[in-house]
Amino acid sequence: MATKAAYKRLNKEYITFQKNPPPYLMAKPLESNILEWHYVIRGPPDTPYHNGEYHGVLLFPAEYPFKPPSIRMTTPSGRFQPDTRLCLSMSDFHPSTWNPSWSVATILTGLLSFMTSNEATTGSIKTTDADKKIYASRSHQFNLNDPKFKEIFPELCVPECVPVEVLYPINKPSSSLNDETTSNETSQNDKQAPQVVRRNEANQQGPLVGGINQIHQRRPNSRNENPLRGIVAGGNLAENANNNSARSNGSNNNPQGNTHNNNNVAGQRGIFDQWRKWIIVSLVCLYLVIAKLLARSTVSGSPGGEPSM
């Protein structure tokens, strides 16, 4: 049971603390017991406790402010043993050094200063900075599992997602390497994209039409390369289309050969026309000879005609 002086003093300190809280500190008493205060220290930057959330308890005696309180820290920090009384100049371990003018804000500010130092005392432990960082990253989740913390500080009970890099740092590649890899992947995707589109269009149009479209889209790399190699689609119709495409490609790629072929065809046609004329003339001559012979035989065979020699 708090004395009237203790109640009046702690109530005044609570009002002052709420109006002007010290940096990285939060504190409030229980509604049922003003002598039991709960505090939260937020780890300051440039320390292994950065972004840590450390919950603890101050138990004031009924004779406060003439006697100091006991100090405990509940959240594991790598600096103090959890739920253990701490030996500090402003704690009940050293009542002779206590100053009644000190307040809750003074006590917690001194605790934060001692926490960030490497000085050993009763209730402290020794760990590496890496361990302290791990404790800091897990501190909020630890507090969320504490019913007392959730009851007193409901405004702080917001789930947080701790970045994986805090627990397991990863050496990231340089930005230039990332840019080069990204550009290479983009160029490869650009080269492959037209082929994928053409294949998809061929599949949607069916094996026959798709095969013919592939024939027209492909171009030979050289004159000796067969543009129809490796394409089989649509039976005889596809083969005819392939032959027509091959002929058209050959005529387009070799215009001099086309001229030579045309000259050969014209020469062959001229020879054929000459032979046809000779055959017609020969047939006409043969017809006239036969007709003349028939006429003579008719005259010699008629009655009263001239005797044959």
Q: How far apart are CA 239 and CA 220, in angstroms?
A: 17
**Would you mind telling me the total number of residues written for the chain in this entry?**
309
DSSP string, 106-157: HHHHHHHHHHTS----TTB----HHHHHHHHHHHHHHHHT-HHHHHH-GGG-
Q: Annotate 214-249 with three-state secondary structure.
A: HHHHCCCCCCCCCCCCCCCCCHHHHHHHHHHHHHHH
Q: Catalytic: 87?
A: yes
Annotated catalytic residue: which of 87, 157, 161, 285?
87
Query: Tell me, what DSSP letter sits at residue 96?
Result: G
For residue 131, CA distances in Å to 60, 126, 267 come to 32, 10, 99
The residue type found at 197 is V
Tell me the angle at which helices 207-217 and 235-253 cross, rounded to the nearest 10 degrees: 10
Angle between helices 235-253 and 255-301 (to 10 degrees): 110
List the alpha helices (DSSP H) in the chain: 4-19, 104-115, 129-144, 147-152, 164-167, 175-205, 207-217, 235-253, 255-301
Residue whose token pair is 């103090």: 80
Q: Which residues participate in catalysis according to the annotation? A: 87
